């Protein structure tokens, strides 16, 4: 089975992917656990989780409610959230709020200097003890080198690694994942166990065609859906 821990939907202001289109795309890409990590909101993840439950798809697709949170020092992801995490706080405060509700802190694309909203390097080191997962494959990274740097950092800090599509279009879902044995992921400890036994993989695509495709979808596909 495959697990993708970084994905955006129409709940993010920079994504047009309809929530209703996500389950079929996940099935086609063999994704059985999908985290929805929209920017500073979690309503999309909650709606999709309810949709999957109402359609009786829970045995084939598990949705993790997440949020990519904009802190004062850059972005971090919270997983298994019960409440929305407010944007604009310090990174350590944000991590504390995520942990206080039983969630996990994931460090996304933290080493790519071309990611404007990456977590600052000096803050990353001070926050290391509060990070639960390091994203060592991000399909939208500027160069594969930065994924390798993330993997080395995770190894140095004895942290599990993950893969994420960081999808901002429907066709990008499934480009980054963790392949692991078939298991049931319902709680944070289930996920951590699966990550330690899994293999991270993905399909990196140069950011220029990826960006142009996103712009085309926003201008033409998005307009046709309004």
Is 6:77 a contact under the CB 8 Å cutoff?
yes
What SS3 class is residue 179?
strand
Which residues of the chain fall short of a pLDDT of 70? 207-226
**CATH code of residue 77:** 3.20.20.140
d(CA 190, CA 223): 40
In this prediction, residue 11 carries a pLDDT of: 97
d(CA 22, CA 46): 13
d(CA 108, CA 150): 9
In this prediction, residue 175 carries a pLDDT of: 94
In this prediction, residue 170 carries a pLDDT of: 94
* Domains of the chain: total: 1
In this prediction, residue 131 carries a pLDDT of: 98
Considering Cα of 176, then 178, then 181, then 187, what sign does the dihedral take?
negative
d(CA 137, CA 154): 12
In this prediction, residue 205 carries a pLDDT of: 82
Nearest CA among 176, 183, 142 for reference residue 5: 176
Bridge-based pairing of strands 62-71 and 74-79 is antiparallel
pLDDT, one tens digit per residue, over 146-166 is 999 999 999 999 999 999 999
What is the domain range of residue 178? Answer: 2-225
């Amino acid at each position: 089975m495959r697990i993708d821990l970084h994905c955006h939907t129409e709940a993010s202001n920079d994504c047009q992917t309809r929530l209703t289109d996500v389950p079929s795309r996940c099935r086609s890409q063999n994704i059985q656990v999908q985290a929805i990590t929209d920017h500073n909101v979690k309503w999309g993840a909650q709606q999709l989780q309810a949709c999957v439950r109402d359609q009786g798809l829970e045995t084939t697709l598990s949705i993790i409610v997440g949020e990519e949170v904009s802190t004062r020092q850059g972005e971090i992801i919270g997983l298994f959230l019960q409440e929305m995490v407010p944007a604009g706080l310090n990174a350590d405060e944000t991590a504390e709020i995520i942990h206080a509700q039983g969630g996990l802190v994931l460090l996304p694309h933290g080493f790519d200097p071309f990611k404007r909203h990456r977590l600052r390097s000096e803050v990353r080191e001070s926050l290391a003890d509060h990070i639960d997962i390091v994203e060592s494959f991000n399909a939208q990274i500027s160069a594969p080198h930065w994924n390798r740097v993330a993997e080395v950092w995770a190894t140095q800090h004895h942290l599990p690694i993950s893969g994420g599509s960081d999808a901002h279009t429907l066709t990008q879902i499934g480009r980054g994942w963790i392949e692991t044995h078939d298991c049931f992921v319902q709680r944070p400890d289930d996920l951590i166990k699966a990550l330690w036994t899994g293999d991270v993989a993905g399909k990196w695509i140069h950011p220029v065609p990826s960006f142009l495709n996103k712009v085309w979808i926003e201008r033409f596909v998005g307009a046709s859906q309004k």
